[in-house]
Structure 1
Amino acid sequence: MKYFIIEGTLNSTLEIDESVMKEHIAYSQKAIERGVTLITGLKENMSGGILIMKANSIEEIKAYLNSDPLKISGSQEYNIIEFTPHYTHPQTNEWFDR
């Protein structure tokens, strides 16, 4: 399994349609339910989002992102960083104060 940090950057020249955002949220929730997304969140400056995901390949990640309603609508672009986790906190939810 490979692990990825993905940074989404919103196209600041476009206003995001509310229906596209709802589709994006539902799309993201399905990935969480399938266990391929660990965390999603908005950047503090609201310029996009951050995801931590796992997949067998970067191609799988690209296919997932290319099907994201925000990407399809031209509202968001993604930067993908592959990483290898060495150490993890045993209680991730507690670490993130959830």
Structure 2
Amino acid sequence: MPWFVKIEAGLVDKPTFDQYVPAHTAYVKALIDKGHKAKTGYWAQRGGGMMLFEAASMDEAQAIVAADPLVVNGCVSYQLHEWRIVIE
């Protein structure tokens, strides 16, 4: 399966963002359980982060990102890219 990366920038204050972190964490764990090999984290300087995951197509990747609680609740803006691995 192709890899995709969602690069995100925060849109809300930290207390608002933190309200949705547990739902986001549960969502990513569910993606892992479904075989998407998801990984997520934030930049050391805060203000954004990324999620790396596998999906069958760009359409599926867009649906996965659209359902992320951080996106649903307007906490982040994002860019979504298919990532072509050259060397492993």
After TM superposition, the score normalised by the length of structure 2 is 0.83
Task: Name the structure, 1 or 2, with higher relative contact order (CA <8 Å, separation 6+).
Answer: 2
After TM superposition, the score normalised by the length of structure 1 is 0.75
Cα offset for 1:10? 1.1
Match of 1:50 in 2: 50
CA distance in 2, matches of 1:40, 1:67: 15
Q: Gaps spanning 5+ residues in structure 1: where? A: 89-98
> In the TM superposition, what are the counterparts of 1:17-56 in structure 2 within 5 Å?
18-56=18-56
Corresponding letter in the other structure for 1:26 = A
In 2, are the aligned partners of 1:8 and 1:77 still within 8 Å (CA)?
Answer: yes
Q: 1:31 to 1:19 in 2, by over 3 A?
A: same
Aligned residues: 88
CA distance in 2, matches of 1:14, 1:81: 26
Is the partner of 2:16 in helix, strand or coil?
A: coil
Match of 1:78 in 2: 78
Output the aligned Cα RMSD: 1.9
In 2, are the aligned partners of 1:37 and 1:51 still within 8 Å (CA)?
Answer: no
In 1, are the aligned partners of 2:3 and 2:55 still within 8 Å (CA)?
Answer: yes
Cα offset for 1:13? 5.5
| Percent identity for Structure 1 against Structure 2 | 24
Structure number with bigger Rg: 1
Q: CA deviation digits over 1:25-68, x for unaligned, max 9? A: 11111112222134211111211221111111111111111111
Q: Gaps spanning 5+ residues in structure 2: where? A: none
Q: 1:12 to 1:20 in 2, by over 3 A?
A: closer
> In the TM superposition, what are the counterparts of 1:60-79 in structure 2 within 5 Å?
60-79=60-79
